[in-house]
């Protein structure tokens, strides 16, 4: 079937099997490799994207289901080579170790900054519940997002 998906503001059209997963469309048809497959069961958030502004696990969706929606991947968060505020904070604090979770925390962190009113350590910790990091113990990731929020609020 023919499918047209809007990813990071660009339309990608392709003839695909109905069973193709959204994460595979993003990676193999659109060629955007920043979204990862970590667990295939929605347990880890490595495949996280924004779907009409809300976080969604792209490994648990068919590409066909995402037609007519605005998809934003990790690549869509930065402007050219400029990281967004959450990513800058994560980068400066050296919160990421192996880097495989970058999409999960970037997407969720960005969503948190844009949607949550009160952003403190406990709020961020709870909101990040669906994104796995096996390397770091989470503290530096949470601190980075809290700090990004503080900086953004100041400006």
Partner 1 sequence: MSERTEKFFLGKGRFVDDITFPDMLYLEIVRSTQAHARILSVKGGLTANDLPLNLTSTGESYRRGRDYEVEPVLAKEKALYYGQPVSAVYDRDRYKAKDLVETVEISYDELKPVLSIEESLNSAPIHESRKDNVVSKFEIGKRFSLDSVVKLSDQLYIERVLPNPLETRGIVAYYNSGKLNVWISTQSVYSIKNGLTRILGLDPSDINVYQADTGGAFGSKSAVYPEYVIACYLSMKTKQPVKWIESRDEHISSTRPGRGAKAELQIYGDREGRIKGIEGKIYVDVGAYADDLSSTSPSWIGYQITGPYSIENVFIEGYSVYTNKAPLGPYRGAGRPEAAFFIERMMDMYADHIGIDPVELRLKNLPEKAFESPTGLKLLPSKVFFEDGIKKIGYSELKKKNAGISFGILLPAVFGGESAKIKVENGIIKVWLGGNAHWQRHELFAKRILKEILGIPEDKVFLMNGDTIELQKGIGTWGSRSAITAGNALYKAALLLKEKAQKMNINDPENLLKSDLSSEYYENMQLDPTMISFLLTAAVAEIQDSIKPVIKEVWAYYDVGEPLSEEAVYGQITGGLLMGVQEVLSEALKYDSKGKPIPETLAATGIAYSINAPKYHVQIATFGRSNTPHGAKGVGEAGTVGAPPAAARAIENLLGKRVNRLPLDFDLLA
Partner 2 sequence: MKVPPVFEYVRVDSLNGFYKNVNQYSFPLIISGGTVAVLMLKNRVIRPDAVIDISGIEDLNVLNIDKEKDEVFMGSNIKLYRLKSLLPDDSASELVIKSASTVGDIAIRSVGSVGGNVCLGDPGNDLPVALTAIGAYAVVGSQESIRRVPVSDFYVKPFKNVLKKGEILLGVSYKRLYGYRTSYKKHFLNFLDHYVGIVAALAKVEGKSIKDLRMAAAGEAIGTPVKIDISEFSSVDDAVSIKKKLIDYLNSLPMHDDRFGTIKFKKKILSALMFQAIDEVLGS
Task: Return the ∠ at Cα 138 (arms to 133 and 143), rounded to 5°.
Answer: 135
DSSP 138-151: SHHHHHHHHHHHHH
Shortest separation between residue 79's beta carbon and partner 2, angstroms: 24
Interacting residue with partner 1 among 4, 126, 150, 151 (CB under 8 A): 126
Question: Which residues 24-83 are close enough to bind partner 2 by CB under 8 A?
Answer: 37, 40-43, 45, 48, 51, 54-57, 60-62, 64-65, 67
Question: From the CA atom positions of the chain, what is the Rg in Å?
Answer: 15
β-pairing, 70-72 with 54-57? unpaired
Give me the residues that bind partner 2 (CB under 8 A), please. Answer: 1, 17-19, 21, 37, 40-43, 45, 48, 51, 54-57, 60-62, 64-65, 67, 108, 111, 127, 129-130
């Amino acid at each position: 079937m023919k499918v047209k998906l809007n990813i990071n503001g660009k339309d990608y059209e392709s003839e695909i099997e109905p069973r193709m997963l959204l994460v595979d469309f993003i990676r193999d048809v659109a060629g955007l490799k920043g979204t990862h497959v970590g667990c295939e069961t929605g347990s880890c958030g490595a495949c996280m994207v924004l779907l009409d502004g809300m976080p969604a696990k792209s490994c648990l969706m068919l590409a066909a289901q995402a037609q007519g929606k605005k998809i934003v991947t990790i690549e869509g968060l930065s402007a050219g080579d400029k990281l967004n505020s959450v990513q800058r904070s994560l980068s400066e604090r050296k919160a990421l170790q192996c880097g495989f979770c970058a999409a999960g925390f970037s997407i969720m962190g960005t969503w948190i900054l844009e949607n949550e009113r009160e952003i403190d350590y406990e709020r961020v910790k709870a909101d990040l519940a669906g994104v796995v990091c096996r390397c770091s113990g989470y503290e530096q990731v949470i601190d980075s997002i809290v700090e990004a929020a503080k900086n953004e609020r100041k400006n």
